[in-house]
């Protein structure tokens, strides 16, 4: 489609140029006129610059000829050189202004870029500071929670220690009380045993006084019974010394042959 459109456009341009040439309204050759329509934009720009340059050169030549006719060749050359110098200075000044304006634009642009960069850096710095403060707050909260938990653990440990001390003191107190009670019971038992032994001895003494043993040798196989006041047959229990059994010994006595006027003596075999 593009090639067909270009062909038709070129055909229309050629017809228009031919009509202008027939009417005498064409100021240039048909080839130049066609070239104006078929050239590219960069080529057209270059041709326009060359045309302007040629026009300025032609104008300059025309002015030089006019000055030479009016003032002479030397004065014309001097005037043309002065004008050329002035044009060069103007061109240099314009180039400098253009360069300055370009540098200024670059400076302004660089300033804008630097400002944007500074704003971005400031924003990033604020974000970092905000994050650091948040992290610091979180760290403080965590430290406070850990300290609180540590204090709670220490408090619980102290409470448990106090409870353990109380329990140990109570156990010790109970143990001492039990020991005291045991000692007291032991003393009471000893007192009671001593009292019973004393009562027994007193009873035996009273019986001995009431029914004293006759003097002389005892009949064979018999012993004196203080309760009944007569001689009775010996039993196995009569061989046991009651004083020793009260002390926790299991001892037996062997009778000796008594003399006529002496009581029976015993020998312990433990």
Residues 221, 214: contact at Cβ < 8 Å? no
CA distance 70 to 81: 17
Residues 39, 51: contact at Cβ < 8 Å? no
Domain edges within the chain? 2-110, 212-269
Residue 224 in 3-state DSSP?
Answer: strand
3-state helix, strand, coil in the chain (%, to 5): 75, 5, 15
CA distance 80 to 84: 6
Q: How many CA atoms lie within 13 A of 237 on its CB side?
A: 2
CA distance 219 to 98: 168
Tokens describing residue 238? 């009569």
pLDDT at residue 265 in the model? 40
Tokens describing residue 75? 């004065």
Per-residue pLDDT tens listing for the chain (270 residues): 456 777 777 777 777 777 777 777 666 676 776 666 666 666 667 777 777 777 877 877 877 787 777 777 777 787 878 878 888 888 888 887 877 776 767 777 887 888 888 999 999 999 999 999 999 999 999 999 999 999 999 999 999 999 999 999 999 999 999 999 999 999 999 999 999 998 988 888 887 778 788 888 888 888 888 888 888 988 765 444 544 444 444 444 444 444 444 444 443 333
Q: What is the pTM of this model?
A: 0.32
Residues 217, 260: contact at Cβ < 8 Å? yes
Neighbours of 17 (CB within 10 A): 20
CA distance 197 to 247: 11
Q: DSSP letters of 238-259?
A: GGB-HHHHHTT---EEEE----
CA distance 104 to 114: 15
């Amino acid at each position: 489609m593009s090639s067909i459109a270009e062909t038709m456009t070129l055909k229309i341009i050629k017809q228009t140029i031919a009509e202008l040439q027939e009417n005498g309204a064409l100021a240039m050759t048909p080839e130049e006129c066609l070239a104006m329509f078929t050239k590219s934009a960069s080529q057209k720009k270059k041709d326009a610059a060359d045309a302007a340059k040629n026009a300025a050169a032609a104008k300059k030549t025309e002015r030089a000829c006019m000055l030479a006719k009016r003032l002479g060749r030397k004065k014309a050359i001097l005037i043309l050189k002065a004008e050329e110098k002035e044009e060069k200075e103007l061109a240099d000044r314009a180039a400098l202004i253009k360069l300055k304006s370009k540098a200024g634009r670059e400076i302004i642009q660089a300033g804008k870029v630097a400002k944007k960069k500074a704003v971005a850096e400031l924003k990033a710095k604020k974000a970092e500071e905000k994050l650091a403060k948040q992290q610091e707050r979180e760290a403080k909260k965590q430290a406070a929670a850990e300290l609180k938990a540590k204090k709670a653990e220490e408090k619980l440990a102290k409470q448990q220690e106090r409870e353990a001390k109380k329990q140990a003191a109570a156990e010790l107190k109970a143990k001492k009380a039990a020991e005291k009670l045991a000692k007291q019971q032991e003393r009471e038992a000893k007192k009671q045993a001593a009292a019973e032994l004393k009562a027994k001895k007193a009873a035996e003494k009273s019986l001995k006084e009431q029914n004293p043993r006759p003097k002389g040798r005892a009949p064979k196989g018999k012993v004196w019974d203080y309760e009944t006041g007569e001689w009775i047959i010996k039993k196995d229990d009569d061989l046991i010394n009651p004083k020793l059994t009260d002390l926790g010994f299991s001892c037996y006595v062997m009778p000796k042959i008594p003399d006529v006027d002496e009581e029976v003596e015993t020998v312990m075999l433990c």
